[in-house]
């Protein structure tokens, strides 16, 4: 009975909030794909319009952080993101943005233009003013002057320790990660500038329509060396040559990225996936580490 009452309360809160925010009655809800930290719904309104709702456990506080990141991108960049209409810890309401499927070469080129412009937004130090999220996991963002220190302590070792403590990363792999972290200066120069990144660029987090990117969703923002964003975009074959050809016309990609640093930076998302899912991702971490240590 308690679960039923909770669902009824959530449904009532959703309907009341939609009415207050949109001035329209909630007519129907339909599930949408995605939702690592929340249930994602399309909300059909009485006037024929639509919204997107995310519904999650209020105790996690994740939706408030997601809204804060989306608003930061909307206020500080030209990256297209959904407009946040309402946010509390259990409910996020946004504009519904129609999409027509996957990325073609034109959409990849547009994504390159948008991300190159985003990466041109800089800050005095790496990190962020507050901690953010990558999926359901916390991303600590203490302001740090040296990128190698930040990447080592707040990304590799932090996420590696979470995966180890969860029993999903073998102790031998974590020891190899520590050895790599002791010699990052062999692979990463100290001269990179902090750039604003979306932080979770893959096909599921972009909405494309008519050869353009209509919106980026589910951000994991902070100020980083933008190569970490470029690297992740290759991990699941999100972008092809059309993206990098256009990106390189706007911002240079330093020698050694594809040959060395791409795999180094992709250790972080692999560790994230290892913490979340274990299995083959831990094997991928082990193989990547073997290349460097």
In this structure, which topology does domain 105-292 adopt according to CATH?
Answer: Aminoglycoside 3'-phosphotransferase; Chain: A, domain 2 (3.90.1200)
Residue 199 predicted with pLDDT over 90: yes
Tell me whether strands 206-209 and 212-216 are parallel, antiparallel or unpaired.
antiparallel
pLDDT at 2: 45
How far apart CA 290 and CA 285 sit, in angstroms, is 9
**Domain boundaries in the chain?**
2-95, 105-292
How many C-beta atoms surround the C-beta of residue 93 within 10 A?
A: 27
Return the bridge partners of 206, or none.
Answer: 216
End-to-end CA distance of the chain: 55
Per-residue pLDDT tens over the stretch 83-122: 999 999 899 999 999 998 789 999 999 999 999 999 999 9
Task: For the full predicted model, state whether its pTM sits above 0.85.
Answer: yes
Beta strands in 152-236 (DSSP E): 195-197, 206-209, 212-216, 222-224
**Which CATH number, 3.40.50.300, 3.40.190.100, 3.50.50.60, 3.30.200.20, labels domain 2-95?**
3.30.200.20
Supply 201's token pair. 């660029």
Question: pLDDT by residue (tens digit) across 50-82?
Answer: 999 999 988 877 999 999 999 999 999 999 999
| Average pLDDT score over the chain | 94
Indicate which residue of 47, 129, 146, 200 is catalytic. 200
DSSP 3-72: HHHHHHHHHHHHHHHHHHHHSS-EEEEEE-S--SSSEEEEEEETTS-EEEEEE--GGG-HHHHHHHHHHH
Q: Is 283 labeled as catalytic in the residue annotation?
A: no
């Amino acid at each position: 009975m308690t679960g039923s009452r909770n669902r009824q309360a959530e449904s009532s809160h959703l309907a009341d909030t939609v009415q207050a925010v949109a001035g329209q009655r909630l007519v129907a809800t339909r599930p949408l794909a995605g939702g690592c930290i929340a249930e994602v719904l399309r909300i059909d309104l009485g006037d024929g319009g639509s919204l997107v709702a995310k519904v999650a456990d209020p105790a996690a506080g994740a939706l408030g952080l997601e809204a804060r990141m989306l608003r930061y991108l909307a206020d500080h960049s030209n990256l297209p993101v959904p407009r946040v209409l309402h946010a509390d810890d259990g409910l996020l309401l946004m504009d519904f943005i129609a999409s027509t499927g996957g990325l073609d070469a034109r959409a990849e080129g547009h994504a390159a233009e948008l991300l190159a412009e985003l990466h041109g937004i800089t800050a005095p130090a790496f990190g962020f003013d507050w901690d953010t999220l990558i999926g359901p996991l916390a991303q600590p963002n203490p302001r740090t002057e040296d990128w190698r220190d930040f990447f080592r302590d707040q990304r590799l070792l932090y996420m590696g320790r979470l995966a180890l403590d969860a029993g999903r990363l073998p102790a031998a792999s974590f020891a190899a990660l520590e050895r790599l972290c002791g010699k990052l200066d062999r692979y990463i120069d100290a001269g990179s500038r902090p750039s604003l990144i979306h932080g979770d660029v893959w096909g599921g987090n972009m909405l494309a329509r008519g050869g353009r990117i209509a919106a980026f969703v589910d951000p994991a923002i902070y100020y980083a060396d933008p190569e970490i964003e470029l690297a992740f975009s290759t991990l699941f074959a999100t972008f092809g040559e059309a993206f990098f050809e256009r990106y390189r016309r706007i911002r240079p990609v330093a020698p050694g990225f594809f040959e060395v640093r791409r795999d180094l930076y992709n250790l972080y998302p692999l560790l994230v996936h290892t913490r979340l899912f274990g299995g083959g991702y831990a094997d991928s971490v082990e193989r990547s580490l073997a290349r460097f240590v």
